[in-house]
Amino acid sequence: METRVIQLIMELRRQGITDTRVLAAIERVPRERFVADQFLKHAYDNIALPITQGQTISQPFVVAYMTEALRLGDRMKVLEIGTGSGYQSMVLAKLCRRVYTIERYRSLLQTAQRRFADLGVNNITAKLGDGNKGWVEQAPFDRILVTAAADRRPETLLEQLSPDGGIMVAPVAVSAIEQDVIRYTRTGDDIQEERLLPVRFVPLLPGIAREAAG
Ligand code: SAH
């Protein structure tokens, strides 16, 4: 195992990540395959890095924290909103039965899909779409992870969450300048909310992105 991977795992432990399955998943996903060449030497630094289209691959601590907060089981069906680089999808794919992930930039989606194929992962289904709408045909989901900041409680996604103890973890704006990771736990029509961690995510935007061809 590479020294810098071991160092990252040790740092995540120091920051309070205790779930050994989550730590093992992070250890096994090669983050260098999800960052641009010019950032290769920072691939295992505990920092967010820019990807294309003004988006970011999240900080490993935040990936670990949100993944742990989901309380995943290995038989679960999970929806992710915001495929981005595909890194978080890969971490989820190590810990559950199947991941459905939605991205609004076709170019990001295609790059992520190529990475999934190159890494031989076969339990991720990715599509172009507006994540605000969820993935009706595949609902309900045992777990939902949103990786872009919503400006309010994502009601449509909560409707696609299993009523039988389904959990959604999402960064949600709590004021004009602050976002918190919120954990929503659904039992029937009752939704319990816990504020977990202040964060900074790129915004959850409406609709599919327009991009120049090519
Ligand atoms: N999980 C990603 C994080 C990417 S940043 C990773 O591990 O790299 C957030 C992503 O959410 C961006 O790629 C952005 O384009 C996407 N996004 C924002 N709003 C969206 C929406 N409504 N539907 C789908 N994707 C969205």
pTM above 0.95, yes or no: yes
For atom 23 of ligand 1, the residue with the nearest CA is 131
Mutate to test the pocket of ligand 1, among 116, 147, 208 (most ligand atoms within 8 A of CB): 147
* Distance between CA atoms of residues 23 and 20, nearest Å: 5
Active site residue 58: yes
Give residue 214's pLDDT. 53
- Is 60 exceeded by the pLDDT of residue 24? yes
**Using an 8 Å Cβ cutoff, are 63 and 77 in contact?**
no
User: Over 60: is that where the pLDDT of 16 sits?
Assistant: yes
Per-residue pLDDT, averaged over 121-130, amounts to: 98
Segment 93-112, tens digit of pLDDT: 999 999 999 999 999 999 99
Domain ranges of the chain: 2-199
In the CATH scheme, what architecture does the domain 2-199 have? 3-Layer(aba) Sandwich (3.40)
Q: How far apart are the CA of 20 and the centre of ligand 1, in A? A: 26
Give the pLDDT confidence score for residue 108 in this predicted structure. 98
Q: How confident is the model at residue 1 (pLDDT cuts 50, 70, 90)?
A: low
